Amino acid sequence: MESIGVVVNPIAGMGGRVGLKGTDGKLAEARRRGAEPRAPDRAREALRSLHRRAPDITVYTVAGAMGERAARDAGYEPVIVYDPDETGDRHESTASASATDPATADTTAADTRAAVRALLERDVDLLFFVGGDGTAVDVAEVLEEGANETPMLGVPAGVKIYSSVFGVTPADAGRIAAEFDRVERREVNDIDEDAYREGEVRTQLEAVVPVPVAPAVQSGKQVSSGSVDSLAAGFAREVEPGRTYVFGPGSTVGAIEEELGIEPSPLGVDVWRAGSAEEDADADGAAERSGADRRSQRGVVLARDAAESEILSVLAEPITIVVSPIGGQGFIFGRGNHQLSPQVIRRADEIAVVAAGEKLDEIDALRVDTDDEEIDEELRGWLQVRTGRFTTRLVNVV
C-alpha cells in the first residue's frame, strides 16, 4: 500500500457515556451533559499503530480534527485535501490548517462525504475512517455513488457498531491497514437512533462494500434467540443483600432485572441495590436521595437508563457489574455500553457475564475495548460465563 485516505468524525461516540446511546441529532444535548470527544484519541491510537508498520506511506486527510491532528500526532506529514472550515472548498496543502477543537467541532455528515470524495480523487489505496455506523454509511454512500471499489476500514469510535467493516480495536485497525493483501465484500448496517433510545433495535442493510480481510475485522451484530429464563432465575436467586448491581444493556440482562421485579431499560444501564424486608427503610432513603423512587420486589432502583455520572453518583460497595456479550462479536465492554466507563469498572469488585449457550456458540472469544489499556489488560483472560440456572462456561477474554 502506497497511500491511505483518513477521515475522522470527531464527534462520534460523544453521546455514549452521557447515556444518549448515540450522537445523531443529539450533539448539543451531549455537550450540555458534559460529553468529551473519544474519536480523536482512537484515531491517534490507530494511526500510531499504522505508523509503526508503515511509516513511509502517503497520508491524505482532512484539516484539523477530521484527521490532520491525529495524523501529525502519529508521526505523519499528511497532505490535506479538504477543509470543512473553508465553506466546503477543497484545497491541497502540507501546512497545518484548521485548529478546530474536537470538543467544539460542528462537522457534519456532508463534511464526511465531501472529504471522502476528495480522498478518492487522490486514488488512495484504502479509505480509513474513524466513527460509528453512521460514519460508515456516509463513506459507503460515496463509494457506491461512483461505483468505486476502493476498500474501506473503520476504527470503532461510535456508540453503536453493527457493521462488519471495523477493526476490533483501533490498534487492530492500524495493523490491518498496514498488512492486508486482499479484500472481501462486507455489510454496512445502521439503526434508527430514536427507536434505539426507546429500547427498540431497527437495523437496516445500507451497503455492501470491499473491506480488508483479517481475523481482527469484527463481525456484524447478530441476535441469539435462545431462552434465558433459567439463567435469569438462577442469577436472581443468588443476589446478595446489600450489594449494588449495575445492569448493562441487552435482553439477557433485562430478563434478570425482570426476574428481580425491575422494569429494565433494554438499551440503557440500570443501578439496583439488593435489599431485604429489614432494609426497606434504608432503601427508601437511598432512592429519595438519588431521585429514583421506583421500587423493585427485592431492593431499590437507584438509577435507571443512567449516564456515567449518574452511575458513579449512586454506587456503594460492594458492586457487581452484569453484562452480556454482543451476539456474533463478543464485546462485553466498549460497544453500546460506554456508560460502563473505566471509572465505573474500577469501582466494581465483581464482573458477572451472562449469556445463553446458543449465543456463546457463535462467539470465538469475549472482547473488551474500554479506551483504557490497563483496564482492558486486567479484564483479559479466562472468565466464567453464566449460561443457565446452575451452568457456566469458561470463555477467554482477548
pTM for the structure as a whole: 0.63
- Give the β-pairing of 183-191 and 152-156: unpaired
In a domain, 8, yes or no: yes
For residue 94, the model assigns a pLDDT of 45
> What is d(CA 298, CA 301) in angstroms, rounded to the nearest whole number?
10
- Per-residue pLDDT reduced to its tens digit, 240-280: 999 999 999 999 999 999 999 999 998 899 999 998 645 54
* Mean pLDDT, all residues of the chain: 83
With bands split at pLDDT 50, 70 and 90, how would you rate the model's confidence at 373?
A: very high
- Per-residue pLDDT reduced to its tens digit, 277-299: 455 455 445 555 555 443 444 79
With bands split at pLDDT 50, 70 and 90, how would you rate the model's confidence at 108?
A: confident
Residues 272 and 381 in one domain: yes
Do the Cβ atoms of 315 and 244 come closer than 8 Å?
Answer: yes
In this structure, of 130-134, 188-192, 197-201, the range with the lowest mean pLDDT score is 197-201
Residue 20 has pLDDT above 60, yes or no: no
Handedness of CA 335, 336, 341, 345 (dihedral sign): negative
In a domain, 220, yes or no: no
Grid coordinates in use for 288? 429519595
Cβ neighbors of 191 (< 8 A, separation 6 or more) are 133, 160, 162, 201, 202, 203, 204
> How many structural domains does the chain have?
2
> What is d(CA 13, CA 38) in angstroms, rounded to the nearest whole number?
6
For residue 288, the model assigns a pLDDT of 53
For residue 205, the model assigns a pLDDT of 80
In this structure, of 221-225, 228-232, 324-328, 352-356, the range with the lowest mean pLDDT score is 221-225
The torsion angles phi and psi of 229, rounded to 5 degrees, stand at -60, -45
Distance set, CA 315 to CA 35, 101, 343 (Å): 20, 33, 11
Residue labelled with grid coordinates 490491518: 176
- Among residues 183, 212, 241, the one where a domain terminates is 212
- Per the model's pLDDT, the better-predicted residue between 283 and 7 turns out to be 7
Q: How far is CA 165 from the centre of its chain?
A: 14
Residue labelled with grid coordinates 456484524: 220
> What is d(CA 226, CA 221) in angstroms, rounded to the nearest whole number?
16
CATH of the domain at 242: 3.40.50
- Among residues 181, 212, 243, the one where a domain terminates is 212
> What is d(CA 297, CA 295) in angstroms, rounded to the nearest whole number?
7
Residues 125 and 248 in one domain: no
Q: Which domain holds residue 382?
A: 229-397
How large is the greatest C-alpha to C-alpha distance in the chain, in angstroms?
A: 71
Q: How many CB atoms lie within 10 A of CB 135?
A: 26
What percentage of the chain reaches a pLDDT higher than 70?
78
Residue labelled with grid coordinates 491525529: 70
- Which of 36-45, 53-62, 273-282, 322-331 is modeled with the greatest confidence? 53-62
Residue 189 has pLDDT above 80, yes or no: yes
- Per the model's pLDDT, the better-predicted residue between 7 and 161 turns out to be 7
- Per the model's pLDDT, the better-predicted residue between 7 and 34 turns out to be 7
Across the range 136-154, mean pLDDT stands at 94
For residue 220, the model assigns a pLDDT of 64
- Per the model's pLDDT, the better-predicted residue between 23 and 378 turns out to be 378
Across the range 32-51, mean pLDDT stands at 84
Residues 208 and 253 in one domain: no
Do the Cβ atoms of 131 and 9 come closer than 8 Å?
Answer: yes
Residues 258 and 171 in one domain: no
Do the Cβ atoms of 63 and 84 come closer than 8 Å?
Answer: yes
Residue 196 has pLDDT above 80, yes or no: no
Q: Between helices 251-259 and 229-236, what is the axis angle to 10°?
A: 50
Residue 187 has pLDDT above 60, yes or no: yes
Nearest C-alpha neighbor of 42 from the set 372, 333, 375, 331: 372
Residues 234 and 126 in one domain: no
